Amino acid sequence: MAGKRSHVFSGSVYEEMAGYARAVVVDDRIFVSGTVGVDFATGEMPEGAEAQAARALDTIETALAEAGSGLHDIVRVRVYLTDAGDAAAVAAVLKARIGFARPANTTVCAPLVVPGARVEIETEAIRGSGTPA
């Protein structure tokens, strides 16, 4: 039997343009789309990879909260960087924000679609699987 499915939206213009949701929730699993550091209310993108990673995690945290979860429930993170030189700085942000959850992590270098984006973060969470910090 298939699980119940719901969606979380962040207001990103890309969600409407490409026909996707910020997060898809199936039972207790939450799949958060690749998220860059743009402020969707203002359209502003911070310049540095650290600031972009922090803002992306803010957006992810908001999506998870809407789904009845939080950063503590993240079990998988995928990080896309445009410059491998940003890896250590972004890793430090991840460790500070979600390191206590010890999710599986994959980090790769690739060009990103959003102009000015240096980092994009995608997560999977299982509601109720973690303990808040």
Residue pLDDT, tens place only, 100-130: 999 999 999 999 999 999 999 999 999 999 9
Flag whether pLDDT at 66 surpasses 80: yes
- Report d(CA 74, CA 69) in Å as an integer: 9
Question: What mean pLDDT is reported for the chain?
Answer: 95
Give the full edge-to-edge strand order of the sheet including 29-36: 5-8, 23-26, 29-36, 119-126, 74-81, 104-109
**Domains detected in the chain:** 5-126 (3.30.1330.40)
What pLDDT is stored for residue 1 in this prediction?
A: 55
What pLDDT is stored for residue 110 in this prediction?
A: 98
pTM of the predicted model, to two decimals? 0.94
CB 80 within 8 A of CB 52: no
| CA of residue 39 relative to chain centroid, distance | 13
- Report d(CA 131, CA 11) in Å as an integer: 29
